[in-house]
Amino acid sequence: MSERLDALRAMLDDDPEDAFTRYAYAMELRSVGRADEALAEFERLVAGSADYLATYYQYARALQSRGRTAEAVGIARRGVEVAAAQGDAHTQGELEDLLGELEA
């Protein structure tokens, strides 16, 4: 495991509910080619920290990269709803653009 992954894992062990650390861990897993583990971490984030908006775009992209487009569409749609509820028009627009790409 990389030093960065080790550090993030240790931080998660200390505070498993920290959404930012879990997100960073998922992104690092993805960057080192451990896509299935990254997907599991994104799934945990959506289940435990549904309001952590950054997750939805990256989770949908990770699903898309694994050929799981229908699931990616579902995650992107949920993200649009969360962004709208939070009044985050920028992120909502990014997720709507992603949806358009996924549904094309």
Kindly list the distances between the CA atom of residue 54 and the CA atoms of 1, 6, 11, 61, 104, in Å, as whole numbers in the listed order.
25, 22, 19, 12, 23
What are the extents of the domains in the chain? 3-103
Entry pTM: 0.93
List, for residues 12-56, the tens digit of each pLDDT value. 999 999 999 999 999 999 999 999 999 999 999 999 999 999 999
Q: Which fold has domain 3-103?
A: 1.25.40
List, for residues 70-92, the tens digit of each pLDDT value. 999 999 999 999 999 999 999 99
* Count of residues making up the chain: 104
Residues 54/21, Cβ–Cβ less than 8 Å: no
| 37 half-sphere exposure, CB direction, 13 A CA radius | 15
Q: Which two tokens stand for residue 84?
A: 């709208």
